[in-house]
Amino acid sequence: MASVRRLVLLICLALVAVACGGGDDADTAETTTSTTEAPATTTAAPETTTTEAETTTTTTEAPGPTGPVWPLTGVPIGGDEPGEPVHPAVVVKISNNDAIARSVLRGLDEADIVFEERIEQQATRFATVFHSQLPTEVGSVRSARTSDIDIVANLNGPIFAFSGANNGVLNQVRAADRDGVLVMACEDCGNSQFSLLPDFRRPNATVVDTLALLDEAPDDAGPPSAIYDYSNNVAELGEPSVGVQIAAAAAANFIWSEADNGWLRFQAREPHITRDDVQLAPQNVIVMTTQYLPSQIDASSVDAITIGSREVVVYSNGHRVEGIWTRETAADGYTLTTADGEIIGLAPGQTWVSMTPAGTSSELSAADAAVFTN
């Protein structure tokens, strides 16, 4: 049944594309012999189609999308007769430990949402959510962490893919699988969708086929609901911004690019690009102030607290707005509001969520941004 459902889904996604187009062992530094590879196949992102509103004596704005949208991007699904999505989300843990890990990167630009979480020694790792696009090669895949269970718990039982975990975390993920919070898929568990890149060594060589991972979904699996609002009002609520810097083991910078309609990401002062030479440029950046506590399973790691309420700064359409993020339970989405209680709505597109400790982000000046973009 799962294979048949996957085949039907692949055909449907292809038609849409035509119509509209804590932790693991310590990392060890290793070298590569070659990084030149052919681009992986992926289902294409649906394009947004708009029509201009007709005018008589006054001018009116073109209406927003009236048909179904992808729940985790707010982008219209498209097609002549678009239907509601039926397949579950796929979450993949992706490495960001060092320059070698970044050289292996593929697929991150096609994610709907990227959650960037802290691990040991102020390094970060990505819990990367795929739904509107399902690349056939995503990596490099790394270990699960305790924080991940709450992070994915509002995605309606997503497939959760990882490579490696210590016994304590592995037991927690298995329990979450039994409870229906997620569907576990891991390289060490015998799942066939994982493979090794011939030109890289472990721990950076593992990649996974997210489309093939749908075979792991139970017959009653369904799509996620939206976990953010996409009313696209940051420019109305906030003020112009050129970008933000986030301190970590390797500092990250997001700089607004009108030409790219996104926030160009730089890490360790270099463009953060995939192996397909695509610079990461999400439409939204959420700097989510996050409390971290020492992990009870691994003393060298930390756990992110993603339930509760703390400060947030949302970046969208070349603007920023400050506010509060709230999430009452792990099953709930995130409510973003201004100090006056107005809902902060994201722009349709990819969202990057930087789960940062208090005091680790700072606004960039035009001169700061020019250092990266000139």
Q: Is residue 321 in a domain?
A: yes
d(CA 71, CA 129): 12
Instruction: Output Rg (C-alpha) for the chain, integer angstroms.
Output: 20
Paired residues of 139 in beta bridges? 106, 207
Specify the pLDDT at position 189.
85
pLDDT digits (tens, 9 = 90+) for 295-320: 888 888 899 999 999 999 999 999 99
Q: CATH number for the domain including 285?
A: 3.50.90.10
Q: Is residue 327 in a domain?
A: yes
d(CA 34, CA 47): 34
Spans of the chain below 50 pLDDT: 1-5, 7-8, 10-63
Question: What would the two tokens of residue 187 be?
Answer: 């390289």
pLDDT digits (tens, 9 = 90+) for 141-153: 999 999 999 999 9
**How many CA within 13 A on the CB side of residue 30?**
15
User: What are the Cα distances from residue 33, in Å, to 42, 117, 138, 201?
Assistant: 26, 30, 20, 10
Q: Is residue 165 in a domain?
A: no
d(CA 100, CA 98): 5
Specify the pLDDT at position 298.
83
d(CA 110, CA 282): 10
d(CA 166, CA 10): 34
Q: Is residue 314 in a domain?
A: yes
Residues 6+ positions from 101 with CB-CB distance below 8 Å: 27, 95, 140, 142, 204
Q: Is residue 251 in a domain?
A: yes
Specify the pLDDT at position 159.
97
Q: Is residue 48 in a domain?
A: no
As for how many domains the chain has, the answer is: 1
Specify the pLDDT at position 200.
84
Q: What angle do CA 278, 283, 285 make, to 5 degrees?
A: 105
Specify the pLDDT at position 80.
61
Q: Is residue 119 in a domain?
A: no
Buried b (16+ CB within 10 A) or exposed e, 292-301: beebebbeeb
Q: Is residue 303 in a domain?
A: yes
**How many CA within 13 A on the CB side of residue 286?**
32
Paired residues of 336 in beta bridges? 325
Look at residues 371, 244, 253 and name the one whose alpha carbon lies nearest to residue 319: 244
Domain range for 364 is: 234-373
Q: How many contiguous H segments (helices) and E segments (strands) does the chain have?
A: 6, 21
